[in-house]
Amino acid sequence: MIEAKLLTKSFRATSPGDSRWQRFKSFVRGRHRTKMAVQDVSFFVGKGEFVGYIGPIGAGKSTTIKMLAGILHPTSGEVRIAGRSPHHSRRHVVRKLGVVFGQRSQLWWDLPAKDSYDILAAMYGIERRQKERTLEQLGELLQLGELLDTPVRKLSLGQRMRADLAAAMLHDPDILFLDEPTIGLDVIAKKTIRTLLKSLNHDFGKTILLTTHDMDDIEQLCPRVLVINHGRLAYDGSIDGLRERIGLPTMIKVSFTGTVHIPREWSGSFQIVERSANTVTVQCNRRTVPVMQALRQLEQWGGIADVHVEEPVFEEVIRHIF
């Protein structure tokens, strides 16, 4: 569905310290420093996947999304959206794609959302009946209700995000690019948006690429993550795989049916971090010690009544990478 092959984008770089004369000289001589925003990034996202695209500030996330959406031309490399290039088959790709930039609305600020939908429907060539049918479905899903008649500037951020999602979905695209859709939202609005995104993926089969700085978004929504750092792809896989690769400790808390008997000498593949008469908490690195292996050793210390496994928090994992 979404394919990036050795995608690269460089920009001409000027630094804030450059004087006008230096900038003029570089212009006349045709010599510029270049900033590699995205370098040799390759990945494939299949139909129905929900993938998180994450990285620190300035890592190249938005530049990648803009190239995938056909807004920016790559310096080199290739993009395929549903098998076509967004640059050579613009119309085809635009129909397949819905884009939401959390920081910038595509709705007209002073108009009620429904007027913006009329304009967008005309731009996409959607006929009136079809538009009304789609809006009815979206209205129910996104609880648009009275939002439709309210000028966009009067909507709360959470309401505006729902209205923006409807705009991106009006032409029923198969693929959604969402750039920071929960930015600035309070906890309840974030939860609403996450539930909607889950439903769009799960119930409506939309393929979603999500960029966010909110690690809860990623943890709750994306079975797969792509991590970009300094313009290069640093990881492509599951959140669990990322945790394992970084090797932060997994905590295992075991409650025993009676008093726990820890042998005087034991060659453990884990460390004890806390103990009481009938509980022991150990930490181990899942990369080297599978949880089951640790449990097999722990069951020799007493009858196990309960086990609680706590994985490192995703925020922690990400902080570790960057």
Q: What residues line the site for ligand ATP (CB under 6 A)?
A: 11, 35, 37, 55, 57-63
Torsion of CA 184, 188, 194, 200, to 10 degrees: -110
Closer residue to ligand ATP, CB minimum distance, 142 or 242: 242
CB of 14 to ligand ATP, least distance (A): 8
Min dist CB 280 to ligand ATP, Å, is 42
DSSP-assigned letter for residue 238: E
- For residue 22, the minimal CB distance to ligand ATP (Å) is 17
Q: Cβ 62 to ligand ATP, closest distance in Å? A: 3
Least separation in angstroms between residue 119's CB and ligand ATP is 27
CB of 229 to ligand ATP, least distance (A): 9
- Given the complex with ligand ATP, which of 150 and 211 has the nearer CB atom? 211
Q: Is 292 exposed, middle or buried (0-12, 13-18, 19+ CB in 10 A)?
A: exposed
Shortest distance, position 103 Cβ to ligand ATP, whole Å: 8
Q: Which residues pair with 44 in a beta bridge?
A: 3
User: DSSP 3-state assignment of 185?
Assistant: coil
For residue 266, give the 3-state DSSP assignment: coil
Cα separations (Å) of 256 from 31, 252, 283, 294, 311?
Answer: 71, 13, 17, 15, 21
Nearer to ligand ATP among residue 63 and residue 150 (C-beta):
63
Question: Which of 35/92 has CB closer to ligand ATP?
Answer: 35
Cα separation, 226 vs 30, in Å, equals 36
Percent of residues in the chain assigned helix, strand, coil, to nearest 5: 40, 30, 35
Please state whether beta strands 224-229 and 207-211 pair in parallel, antiparallel, or not at all (unpaired): unpaired
**Helix or strand or coil: residue 283?**
strand
**Cβ–Cβ < 8 Å for 182, 211:** no
Cβ distance to ligand ATP smaller for residue 179 or 244 = 179
Q: What are phi and psi of 296, to 5 degrees?
A: -60, -35
Residue of 102, 104, 109 whose CA lies nearest to 190: 102
Q: Which is nearer to ligand ATP, 93 or 228 (CB)?
A: 228
Closer residue to ligand ATP (CB): 117 or 314:
314
Nearest to 104 by CA among 183, 185, 189, 211: 183
Structure tokens belonging to residue 233: 């792809």
